[in-house]
Amino acid sequence: MSHILFGDCIISNENYQKIDEVKFQLSQRGIRLFMNAEINFYSDIQVVLREQSEGDQRQIFCFTSDKQLTNSDDLLFPYDKFSEEELFPDGENRVIFNELCKKNLDDLKQCIEYFLEVIKPQETRVFLTEGYDSQFQVFHCSIDDMINHIFEQVISAYYLDSVIYNIEK
């Protein structure tokens, strides 16, 4: 099963008009941003959001990559970007692996920050899950805290907890 990074937020109509520019800029970095009905490759997103509803009109977003259009693993893990020898040049030593994981997640962080900077949402929730889940941990945190939480999991296991990150400004 693959992980998926998606979310919802409240965006003014004026700022929603900037989505195409955000998509273009992210695509230059190999990252895909899908909005609302464009997310037709993972139906469980709609189910999860309905179950976790905040009761308002939120815009739905999902981040994937050019390498993996239907999931977010490439954004979370460096396995498809580097060979086994590059990830673990000294056998079991994980120092290089950890550095590459951090760089990978820093790229994701920059893209999320850009997305939020341009569209200026009133509220943003980021979901991270592997397939359908109804039992999410909920964290109220900054983007930095979210990335650090993901990093700690990525370097220790391939399975990531199902989490809702309520991003605080």
Q: What is the pLDDT of residue 166?
A: 96
The β-bridge relationship of strands 124-130 and 3-9 is antiparallel
CB neighbourhood size of 155 (10 A): 14
Close Cβ partners of 20 (under 8 Å, ≥ 6 residues apart): none
**Per residue in 62-120, pLDDT tens?**
999 998 988 898 899 888 888 888 888 888 778 898 999 999 999 999 999 999 999 99
- CA 55 – CA 148 distance, rounded (Å): 29
Mean pLDDT, residues 150-168 = 91
Confidence check: pLDDT of 48 > 80: yes
Amino acid present at 10: I
Q: What is the pLDDT of residue 78?
A: 86
Q: What are phi and psi of 134, to 5 degrees?
A: -120, -5
Q: What is the pLDDT of residue 159?
A: 80
Q: What is the pLDDT of residue 1?
A: 63
Q: Of all residues in the chain, what percent carry a pLDDT higher than 70?
A: 98
